[in-house]
Amino acid sequence: MRLSLRISRFKIRGRSRGFSSIVGAIFMVLIAFVIASSYFLWTLSQNTIYFAAVRDKNQFEADRLSENMKVNTTSYAVNTNGSVTVLATLQNTGASSVQLKTVWVYVSNSTWTNYNFSALSNTNVQSGTVFSLSAVLSVSGINATASYNFASWLMTARGNVVTLQQTTLTNNIVVSQTTQGIGALMMDFQNFTYYNVTGSGPYSLNFSAGASGYLINGATAPNARIAFRVIITNLDQDQRDIIVTTDSVLFSIFPTGATQVRAAFWYIVNVNGTGAILNTYTNVTLAYNIATPLYFSSEYPSYDVRFPNPWGSKYPGTTPVNLALIGTLGGSPFGQNIPFVSVYINP
């Protein structure tokens, strides 16, 4: 009897130990599975983060390479000691918008150099738009009466560098620009253009068919109508706006005989972006150092009821041409005559 009881207890204990071993093994497998799963998920998440970072970096690089800023004009002014004004016009010719973050300027002469930078704000330039920069930077040691060489550049938010034009300033006068004209206004001689006027009111110019204004064909033919384009830049030393009013006129003198002198003239008109000549005239503002086209075509000034009335020239041959601009400078009366070109009217 005692032997049978001992055998039964031994069998129960043996079965309990075997069950515990199985449970322990299952528990270890579960622990290993959880650890392996956690490691797999962590590895997967790290791979996801890595590929997202690579994708973002590639997109950033593509955006950076797509930035393209064209510099149209750059000028520098030293109006007070220790201060440099940087003026520039730029156009975003790239596919993406460009945010300009800082502007730098480097100033030097034969015995001295210095530089500085300034942060820019509200400078997100959309694709295709023109941006006008006007920045005043402190540069210790610069003198308003001395001569300097200038270089400057812009930094974009994506890390690109936009190099502005270099200029030599002598006694605060840009020599290469003032040699092109006398007074506050400068003409672009290389881009003096004339157009044949089409239509019967409204009238229009074909911008793509413009030709050199130095040789004009067919202007004396019956019912001939032409227009001139002159590109003008305001270089007022105090950087004030110049307003061009309706009495501004382009005129020429023809020496037709020993005692006879004849003239032709064309009053200023407004032309829109499609080439149409507008029936009313709005004064044109010439901002400092911004090249602006002016158009001359009408036989009458805008206060005449017959305005605009494009016409040609009654006289052929060689003629000197004058540009008489009337308006205001900083709110005061202003006038400048530019004796700028001679043209040949080919019948």
Q: What does the pLDDT read at residue 325?
A: 96
For residue 291 the two structure tokens come to: 């090249």
Q: What does the pLDDT read at residue 175?
A: 42
Tens digits of residue pLDDT in 210-256? 999 999 999 999 889 999 999 998 888 778 899 999 999 999 988 77
Q: 298 by DSSP, 3-state: which?
A: strand
d(CA 309, CA 25): 104
Q: What does the pLDDT read at residue 179?
A: 39
At the top level of CATH, which class does the domain 185-346 belong to?
mainly beta
d(CA 226, CA 234): 26
- Contact criterion met (CB below 8 Å) for 161 and 153: yes
Domain 69-176 has CATH 3.40.50.12710: no
Q: How far is CA 31 from CA 36, 170, 243, 323, in A?
A: 9, 82, 85, 93
CA angle 107, 108, 111 (to 5 degrees): 150
Q: What does the pLDDT read at residue 207?
A: 85
d(CA 131, CA 301): 33
Indicate if 185-346 has the same CATH topology as 69-176.
yes
Residue 265 pLDDT > 70: yes
Residue 178 pLDDT grade (very low, low, confident, very high; cuts 50, 70, 90): very low
Q: Are strands 332-346 and 215-217 parallel, antiparallel or unpaired?
A: parallel
Q: What does the pLDDT read at residue 13?
A: 54
Tens digits of residue pLDDT in 7-36? 555 555 555 556 567 766 777 777 777 777
What residues does each domain of the chain span? 1-66, 69-176, 185-346
Q: What does the pLDDT read at residue 170?
A: 52
Reported pTM: 0.53
The residue with tokens 């064209």 is 70
Q: What does the pLDDT read at residue 254?
A: 87
d(CA 232, CA 243): 12
Tens digits of residue pLDDT in 67-118? 888 888 888 888 778 888 888 888 888 888 888 999 999 998 878 899 999 9
Average pLDDT over residues 132-156: 87
d(CA 84, CA 142): 8
Mean pLDDT, the chain, integer:
83
